[in-house]
Amino acid sequence: MKTVRVELLKPGDVLGRAILSRSGLSILEEGTVFTEAYIKRMKELGIPSVVVREVPKEGSGGHWDKPYDLRSVDAADLAAEGVGTTEAPDPLIRKQAVEELVALTLPEKIEGRLSAPLIEDRFKRLFRGIICDISSHTKLVDQLAFMLQCDRRLFNHSLNVAKLSAMLGVSRQFDNARLLDLTVGGLLFDIGMTRMPQSLIRANRRLSREERKTLENHAIEGYRIMMSLDGVSTDSAKCALLHHERYDGSGYPVRMSGGEIPEMAQIVAMADVFDALTSPRYHRQAYTENEAIEFLFGAGDRYFDAELVRQFVRHISLFPVSTRIKLSNGQIAEVSSNANGFAHRPVVRVLREADGTRVRYPYELDLSTKRDVVVLHSCEGLHS
């Protein structure tokens, strides 16, 4: 490694240390090969010097990793192929996208969503700053506006996935920079869908094999889009490319398995599946939160890392305190605590019996010990 003044850079030099903006967004990622355009951009930003990797001498046997190399898919080539041009989003829709993004940080959107108060307090503090940074990034907001313009459900889904992913990131002690990358990855992981045929996105029928193959291209297209955006890190972009990879190697487009799949991409993939199951789709009704959790448990070490599943269930409260819920035995109850470590089996206070009779003196049930009773659904809705 050596420090080189920007005016002395040459095309082909390799960046040895990521360049970050004041807000923490990545301007150029470590491993980027400088081009004339990148060098010009560094000069325009007034960056005096950068750290570059020293090129090994010919015949020395040394090498440096190709930037963004991903097994059988050469992601550098994918990014270089470019992204189709998209017109600027409608200014009113862009404004709406920013308002709804910022609304993710409102107290009522966060209170009681994490089972441990200390983790929730840290999440509130960090998430507010991260969303503020993202909302001031013009190109990121443009892509969110494209999603809202393209499909309201796609936009809402992306907001939910970003928040769920960030919650799990905080519970796993991610630092600010990694949490920012994870949140950006969660927001734009499905951006490639905006370049897919709308007739397929909105189809309420079983797709043909050829149609499914077409839609599967959204992962690569999303990666291309994210890699074209200044300030978006490779880790964030990989969330788009790899969110359909599965722990047992059955996913696409690279067919990675186990620990080969980056942690951020695994987190976004799990949040994607959970929110997709608990939200209505064009072709089906929503599953209950309890059904979605049971699916995640069954998918441990098959679709997702089992430890990630356990941490999701342990820390992310599906039913925040004071949420009114209906139980499988017909009772109506209110969540009184999530401290038992089971997101889908909280401690509840029974308000109405199965026959509709109001309980004069509400009493508590710990659903973690009442295996014959499960939560059917929340009366107020998970994504309110």
> In the predicted model, is pLDDT for residue 76 greater than 50?
no
| Token pair 């993939």 in the structure block, residue | 269
Cα angle at 103 between 290 and 195, to 5 degrees? 80
Handedness of CA 302, 306, 308, 309 (dihedral sign): positive
Q: Could you report the per-residue pLDDT of 49-70, keeping only the tens digit for each?
A: 888 876 544 333 332 233 334 4
- Maximum average pLDDT range among 74-78, 196-200, 261-265: 261-265
pLDDT of residue 2: 82
H-helix or E-strand spanning residue 308: helix 306-315
CA-to-CA separations, 46 to 25, 40, 42, 138, in angstroms, rounded: 16, 10, 6, 20
Q: Give pTM, 2 decimals.
A: 0.74
Fold classification of 2-67 is Molybdopterin biosynthesis moea protein, domain 2 (3.90.105)
pLDDT of residue 54: 65
Cα angle at 158 between 234 and 181, to 5 degrees? 25
The domain limits of the chain are 2-67, 91-315, 324-378
pLDDT of residue 106: 93
Secondary structure (3-state) at 116: coil
pLDDT of residue 283: 58
Average pLDDT over residues 4-27: 75
Q: What percent of the chain has pLDDT over 70?
A: 86
Radius of gyration of the chain (CA): 23
Integer Cα distance of 233 and 179 in angstroms: 12
CB 75 within 8 A of CB 221: no
pLDDT of residue 339: 73
Average pLDDT over residues 340-359: 88
> In the predicted model, is pLDDT for residue 346 greater than 90?
no
Integer Cα distance of 382 and 353 in angstroms: 23
CA-to-CA separations, 194 to 85, 145, 219, in angstroms, rounded: 12, 10, 11
Integer Cα distance of 3 and 52 in angstroms: 6
> In the predicted model, is pLDDT for residue 196 greater than 80?
yes
pLDDT, the chain, mean: 83
CATH architecture group of domain 91-315: Orthogonal Bundle (1.10)
Q: Could you report the per-residue pLDDT of 253-293, keeping only the tens digit for each?
A: 989 999 999 999 999 999 999 999 888 766 567 777 778 88
Which is nearest to 221 in space by CA: 193, 251, 255, 186? 193
Secondary structure (3-state) at 361: strand
